[in-house]
Amino acid sequence: MPSIKTVENYLSGQVLLIDKPLNWTSFQVVNKLRWEIRQTFNIKKIKVGHAGTLDPLATGLLIICTGKMTKQIDSFQGQIKEYTGTIVLGSTTPSYDLETEINNTFSTSHLTPDLIKETVNQFIGEIDQFPPIFSALKKEGKRLYEYARAGEKVDIKSRKITIQTFEITSIENLNIHFRVVCSKGTYIRSLAHDFGKALNCGGHLSSLRRTKIGEFSVIDAVNIDDFIESLPKNT
């Protein structure tokens, strides 16, 4: 449980470690915490922002900055991140995760644990990665997912990212559990898609959890309800 803070603490700047729940957008978490802080302390305005978006279907560490600490958001966003999750082999989705339905299935009869573990090595180090079309990146003033949902094709450029660690932690049939340590700008959904493509069987992300950002760990994060409970009452 986080320690009780005063309105001066939040205005001067706090770094809050939140364990983002499933099906919440990062923006919804920011809005909820901002509203709760404003209501608790009866203030009209306070800066609140997050340091690195998590998709609605992802859970885990979200760094929330308040007040003057929002100036540090860029530095937090640039730090190395760690994720755990599951890739399902043998099928693909347009969004590269479970936001959209499976659109193609492929044979997996050629797969072996050794092949799966060896293929990981193709993705270690600096690589070129194409962001998913279902993403919030902007092109010509529109989010990429707006083009995708309208069925419009759009040219997406690859960008350089760095994968420090890509570890297969366990294999359960076609469910590949992994841990990834990567640079800013890495899309784990794209990594799942590209990994399946490299294995000639397709793949998509079925679960994702961010466990670390720099020195910050989800072990030290609190859920939204616990944060709200920590706010002082009757102020």
User: Which pLDDT score, from 0 to 100, does residue 154 have?
Assistant: 72
What value does the CA radius of gyration of the chain take, rounded to a whole number of Å? 19
Q: Are residues 159 and 57 in the same domain?
A: no
- One domain for residues 126 and 178: yes
Q: How far is Cα 61 from Cα 63, in angstroms, rounded to an integer?
A: 6
pTM above 0.95, yes or no: no
Q: How far apart are CA 120 and CA 170, in angstroms?
A: 13
What's the confidence (pLDDT) of residue 173? 96
| Residue 22 pLDDT | 97
CATH number at residue 39: 3.30.2350.10
Count of domains observed in the chain: 2
The answer as to whether 235 is a domain residue is: no
Q: Of 211, 209, 210, 203, which is closest to residue 87 (Cα–Cα)?
A: 203
19 with 59, same domain: the answer is yes
Residue 136 pLDDT:
63
- Residue 156 to residues 92, 140, 191: CA-CA distances in angstroms? 19, 12, 16
Residue 1 lies in a domain: no
Q: Output the CA–CA distances (angstroms, integers) from residue 129 to 56, 185, 186, in the order listed.
A: 21, 9, 8
pLDDT tens, N- to C-terminus, the chain (235 residues): 566 789 999 999 999 999 999 999 999 999 999 999 999 999 999 999 999 999 999 999 999 999 999 999 999 999 999 999 999 999 999 999 999 999 999 999 999 999 999 999 999 999 999 988 776 666 666 666 666 666 667 777 899 999 999 999 999 999 999 999 999 999 999 999 999 999 999 999 999 999 999 999 999 999 999 999 999 886 4
Catalytic residues: 55
Indicate the length of the chain as a whole number. Answer: 235
Query: Can you give the residue range of the structural domain that contains 150?
Result: 81-213
Q: Are residues 135 and 175 in the same domain?
A: yes
Q: 35 CB contacts (<8 Å, ≥6 apart)?
A: none
2 within domain boundaries: no
